[in-house]
Amino acid sequence: MVGTFLDGRTLIENARSLRPDVIVLDIGMPLMNGLSAGQRLKAEMPSVKLVFLTMNQDPDLAAEAFKLGASGYLLKSSAASELVYAIREALRGRSYVTPLITEGMVGSFVQNLKRKKPTHKLTLRQREVLQLLAEGRSMKEVAAVLNVTPRTVAFHKYTMMEQLSIRTGAELIQYAINNSIVELRRMEPETQVTDDFEGASGQDSGSATVRAKEGKG
């Protein structure tokens, strides 16, 4: 293990210099969630392997993770040995999904094909703005995190509301929760993950671990 980070933005900043082979990340990380962080990481480091940990058993979320380039997807209730196995599979160029949700994922893909409904997909920047707002930050605070002006944040907020046919800020936050852009939970302190991945099922919300192959450094 070469590092553990509390939020998606810190993860991205450090991954650029650490150049890990595998990143184990929590979908519910603050500042930038795991899916958004994973999308950015894959764009900058296409060869990096992403293994997601989450409390969310929604098969649609797992399907979305694999669309973004995930190599593994596990629940936090999974055994520690299952996380080790998923990492090894990722390093071999294979994919792994916990059996706890595999059946649901198949059904999710089938249902998505049947629906074929037009969707209003938010851009990565819109998702970043929405997550920060849903976490309780003001427009000024969001602007500071993203290094933009409050007016730009307001533009993104009201553009999203128009796209999604949402009238209030409360409805926008509910959309963020329903679509796993942010989790409705208390942010807890960081928990380190040891080299033998002890307590993988207890991997704390809001952290990511980067790991290099043995002998790499």
Element (H, E) at 153: helix 150-163
Distance of CA 181 to CAs 11, 17, 121, Å? Answer: 17, 27, 12
Nearest CA-CA partner of 47 in 23, 24, 75: 23
Residue 120 has pLDDT above 80, yes or no: no
Q: Does domain 124-178 have CATH number 1.10.10.10?
A: yes
Per-residue pLDDT reduced to its tens digit, 146-185: 999 999 999 999 999 988 888 888 899 889 888 878 876 5
pLDDT band per the 50, 70, 90 thresholds, residue 187: very low
Q: What is the pLDDT of residue 12?
A: 92
b/e burial code for range 175-213 (CB count within 10 A of at least 16 → b): bbeebbbbbeeeeeeeeebeeebeebeebbbbbbbbbee
Q: What is the pLDDT of residue 117?
A: 45
Residue 85 has pLDDT above 60, yes or no: yes
Q: What is the pLDDT of residue 103?
A: 58
Higher-pLDDT residue of 195, 142: 142
The correct CATH number of 3-117+183-211 out of 3.50.50.60, 1.10.132.50, 1.10.600.10, 3.40.50.2300 is 3.40.50.2300
Higher-pLDDT residue of 207, 139: 139
Q: What is the pLDDT of residue 197?
A: 37
**Where do the structural domains in the chain lie, given as residue ranges?**
3-117+183-211, 124-178
| Cβ(101)–Cβ(64) below 8 Å | no
pTM of the predicted model over 0.85: no
Most confident of 71-80, 99-108, 198-207: 71-80
Q: What is the pLDDT of residue 153?
A: 92
Residue 204 has pLDDT above 50, yes or no: no
Residue/partner pairs of 108-113 with CB below 8 Å, 24 or more apart: 108/59, 108/60, 108/62, 108/63, 109/63, 112/60, 112/63
| Terminal C-alpha separation, the chain | 9
pLDDT band per the 50, 70, 90 thresholds, residue 194: very low
E strand map for the chain = 3-5, 22-26, 49-54, 72-75, 96-97, 208-211
Residue 190 has pLDDT above 60, yes or no: no
Per-residue pLDDT reduced to its tens digit, 23-70: 999 988 889 989 899 999 999 999 999 999 988 877 778 888 888 899
Q: What is the pLDDT of residue 102?
A: 65
In angstroms, rounded to a whole number, what is the distance separating the alpha carbons of residues 204 and 217? 25
pLDDT band per the 50, 70, 90 thresholds, residue 113: very low
